[in-house]
A = this chain, B = another copy of it.
Amino acid sequence: MRNYTTQMDAARRGIVTPEMQAVAKKEYRTEEEIRKLVAEGKVVICANRLHDCLQPNGVGSMLRTKINVNLGVSRDCKDYDVEMRKVMAAVDMGAEAIMDLSSHGDTQPFRRKLTSECPAMIGTVPVYDSVIHYQRDLSTLSAKDFIDVVRLHAEDGVDFVTLHCGITRKTVEQIKRHKRKMNIVSRGGSLVFAWMCMTGEENPFYQYFDEILEICREYDVTISLGDACRPGCLADAGDVCQIEELVRLGELTKRAWEKDVQVMVEGPGHMPLDQIAANMKLQQTVCMGAPFYVLGPLVTDIAPGYDHITSAIGGAIAASAGAAFLCYVTPAEHLALPNLEDVKQGIIASRIAAHAADIAKGIPHARDLDDAMADARRTFDWEKQWACAIDPQTARSIREQRKPENEDSCSMCGKFCAVRSMNKALNGEYIDIL
């Protein structure tokens, strides 16, 4: 019989949960180290008590950087089984979290399928499911309706929920006055903003935060504090709207921790490269070390079709400077619903960013595969190279499409191969180049 509510509650009472044990093992840490970090709020283990098939992961800046993949049933893809195969493919490709952003039909069966079959942590954004769930237009929903959807998701076994608690009626005036270039680009944030504009009422996720905490405490749902005002272009980065909301999120983090509810904080967004590290440090002080979950940051606005690359640059810098969790961005960002190939490209780019950051941060064993790859390259052990590669199939097929004359080189350099020349030179062999 479980004698605690949330992972944080357990940790604070000195209890090492099975989830903490699993995380400790994966991260080469002691159970006591993990317990202490969870107690402090510096690591979250998103694990709804009803998500039985979860293989738990910890999220925190001192752990391996985790990545999230957004999927879900939409008007264009209504087949649960097809979407579920995408989910499992994403998990196979290395996603530790799946956010179900379903926006069509009855969303509950797919959500329940996820929490009963998927081993990754499952997140949702209740505000956009609200419109779908009630099949009523936004302006007709009451504050209670929104909170009821949070409860529904908790009961369905969701591990974390994005809630845009940090914008208030004051934000409405601030956004109007400040005249950002891109206003609000967070989908959930824009719905909350629109609802406030149409009803004249306060943000329910802010006003009824205590009720939300009760729900999250009961099921151990981690709150991912959404950043409605995340910058949607470089020009808006780090402005008063973004930072005011961050301050609100810091206050709300403290309130959640008082009830033993686990918290992540969401962050940018579009941001010039030179601002990223400072922004990560600011979040860490304002939110007292709560894990930072970023979307990007995208370091330029002018590369539609390549935003998996613009966000891999920003994500690598962010994670090395303190972000704990990267939301993937696909090449279709700003343009269209991603297809399966886009999903793959997005996951790989995010994994590269996360991995590069983990090496930079000195996460235990992060560089093991890189070192093995270097040995395999020096010895021309191609099979071992594929075994070390983040995407063995793609690497192998590039080489095999353009076969070299000899196994001890590739068609890029042929006999000019530096590795070949050096192996011969260091062995005292004659080096033929022509």
Contact = CB atoms under 8 A, between A and B. Distances in A.
B316 A273 contact: yes
Contact of A412 (B189, B334, B394, B428): B334
Interface in A113-139: 128, 131, 135-139
A378 B183 contact: yes
A235 to B, nearest CB: 5
Contact of A194 (B138, B185, B369, B424): B424
A235 B412 contact: no
A352 B411 contact: no
A22 B417 CA distance: 39
A395 interface: yes
A430 to B, nearest CB: 7
Contacts of A421: 190-191, 193-194
Please tell me how many copies of the chain the complex holds. Answer: 2
A385 B272 CA distance: 19
A335 B399 contact: yes
A356 B310 contact: yes
B302 A418 contact: no
Contact of A76 (B308, B310, B411): B411
Contacts of A412: 332-338
A183 B422 contact: yes
A182 B357 contact: no
A402 interface: yes
A148 B305 CA distance: 47
A95 interface: no
A373 interface: yes
A303 B316 CA distance: 14
Contact of A356 (B135, B236, B299): B299
A181 interface: yes
Contact of A374 (B232, B418, B426): B232
B413 A359 contact: no
A317 interface: yes
Secondary structure at the A interface, as helix, strand, loop or mixed, is helix
A424 B322 CA distance: 36
A88 interface: no
B190 A304 contact: no
Contacts of A335: 395, 398-399, 410, 412
A171 to B, nearest CB: 12
A334 B391 contact: no
A349 B312 CA distance: 11
A320 B304 CA distance: 22
Interface in A340-397: 348-349, 352-353, 355-357, 359-361, 367, 369-371, 373-375, 377-378, 385, 388-391, 394-395
Interface of A: 74-76, 103, 128, 131, 135-139, 175-176, 181-187, 189-191, 193-194, 197-198, 232-236, 272-274, 299-306, 308-310, 312-313, 316-317, 320, 331-339, 348-349, 352-353, 355-357, 359-361, 367, 369-371, 373-375, 377-378, 385, 388-391, 394-395, 398-399, 401-402, 404, 410-414, 416-419, 421-426, 428, 430-434
28 contacts: A74-B414, A76-B402, A103-B416, A138-B431, A176-B426, A182-B378, A183-B422, A183-B423, A185-B418, A187-B413, A194-B421, A232-B374, A232-B419, A234-B367, A234-B370, A274-B359, A299-B356, A299-B359, A300-B355, A300-B356, A300-B370, A302-B388, A306-B349, A313-B356, A333-B412, A335-B398, A335-B399, A336-B411
- Give the 4 A-B CB pairs with smallest separation, nearest first: A233-B374, A190-B418, A274-B360, A299-B356
